């Protein structure tokens, strides 16, 4: 996959959408029945870009279902 190879089993899937079935008492941003999509990026929140509020430029960005870094970040399909 690109310039890296799988070194351990990986659950695929990073482009996810669905419909909300339940929400917790403190959830205010989504409601039951709402269609949603998941942002698959996982910025480190520690690099210089992340600390400046620019997580989209994260130097060690990870993604659900990606083997770019070890340990792998598992995807959403099971
Ligand atoms: Zn970062």
Q: From residue 46, how far is each of 43, 49, 53, 63 by CA, in Å?
A: 8, 8, 10, 16
Dist. CA 21 → ligand 1 center (Å): 32
Global pTM value: 0.67
User: Token digits for 74?
Assistant: 């598992």
Spans of all domains in the chain: 1-21+32-78
DSSP string, 19-50: E-----TT--S--TT-EEEE--EE--S-SHHH
Dist. CA 22 → ligand 1 center (Å): 31
pLDDT, mean of residues 56-74 = 87
Dist. CA 32 → ligand 1 center (Å): 32
Least confidently predicted of 7-16, 26-35, 36-45, 47-56? 7-16
């Amino acid at each position: 996959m690109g310039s890296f190879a799988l070194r351990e089993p990986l659950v695929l899937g990073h482009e996810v959408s669905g419909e909300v079935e339940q929400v917790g008492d403190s959830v205010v941003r989504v409601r039951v029945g709402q269609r949603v999509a998941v942002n698959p990026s996982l910025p480190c929140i520690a690099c210089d870009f992340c600390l400046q509020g620019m997580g989209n430029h994260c130097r060690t960005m990870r993604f659900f279902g990606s083997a770019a870094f070890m340990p792998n970040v598992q995807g959403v399909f099971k």
